[in-house]
Chain A
Amino acid sequence: MIQNVIIGQYVPGKSLIHRFDPRAKLLTVFLFVIIVFLANNWLTYAALGLFTLGAIILSKLPFRYLYNGLKPILLVIILTFFLHVLLTREGNVLFSLGWFKVYEGGVEQGIYISLRLLFLIMITSLLTLTTTPIDITDGIESLLGPFKRFGLPVHEFALMMSIALRFIPTLLEETDKIMKAQSARGAEFSSGPIKERLKAIIPLLVPLFIGAFKRAEDLALAMEARGYRGGEGRTKLRLLEWSAKDTMLIVSLVVLSVLLIMLRG
């Protein structure tokens, strides 16, 4: 778990989806989340479905990873489906069980809404499954670059994200260490009355916070000593490269949007 933080949900690979520029992927997800709402008949949903399916196949990810991303929201999807089936009263009655009637419109509505959620989850999971958080951070910094002009601290923000990512495993480890140290001194974290256990949080949090602040100060000192002066004129170790395939990705999404607008009823 602790080691997983830096790579996040990222699954290493060399597929086409993996190799897209993070900026292209971010833009794609952003656009996709918007155009998903354009779909309103089976043709448009089929187009979205084909796009999603194509992306999944191209990513060459084992299905299990996608399923993991879906698991927490699966219940919501199923619940949504049944609520729509039960509550919508449109179209012909499909079948009835005594007082209880299922309408055609309800089933249709239920399927559409569930599919919409499913597509959203799939495409957004694909982004985080094929891109490391660090790459996404770089992508965000680059995409939001133009906003620097309006005084938005884009560079600083991306830097903070990178630092936070770097230190999450360290702090988790430290929490573990402090707990062991305090247990050795007799602190009870997992037994005894609740009041006592809540009190035991103090000797855990105080060293944790002080340690974290100390680390922050040391890091700031080290940055200043190496001449950190903010984002102006700073060079980067990892450079993002926009290539033809990234342009193609954006074009394909624009085509999909046009298709949806033409096909929607």
Chain B
Amino acid sequence: MLRYRLLQHTADIAIEVWGNSIDDLFKSSVEAWLDLSIEQKIFCANEKKQIKLSTTTLEELLKEFLSEINYMLHVKKWLTTSVDKISITEIENSFVLSATIVGEPIDFNKYQIQEEIKAVTFHQLKIEEKDNFFSTKIVFDI
């Protein structure tokens, strides 16, 4: 089940996304990005890629992670369909992400782009935690 909902926004796409841990929140954010970006809902890709990122805040890390996946789709034409493994650690005032993502080179006969996300913004991006439940708003510039 998808773990996000659309919020009211006239010009762009705003969502609220949630998860049971920080790692899980990052995963559900990718699922939301995929649901918005691609029309089809069933995927069976099996190629794997590694992503490593480091930033000074968790919000920057989430923005960078989604931006990377979005860049891979629109420039490298490689569609991420799920997150296999993800680990986020705090090391000396910085946050480090290491992830294995699953996907495939996009075949436009098989998949249609539903929404061209131009960019993932900092707009309203604030990761909040309550009783081990994590959530944030994300605004995509389209």
A interacts with B = no
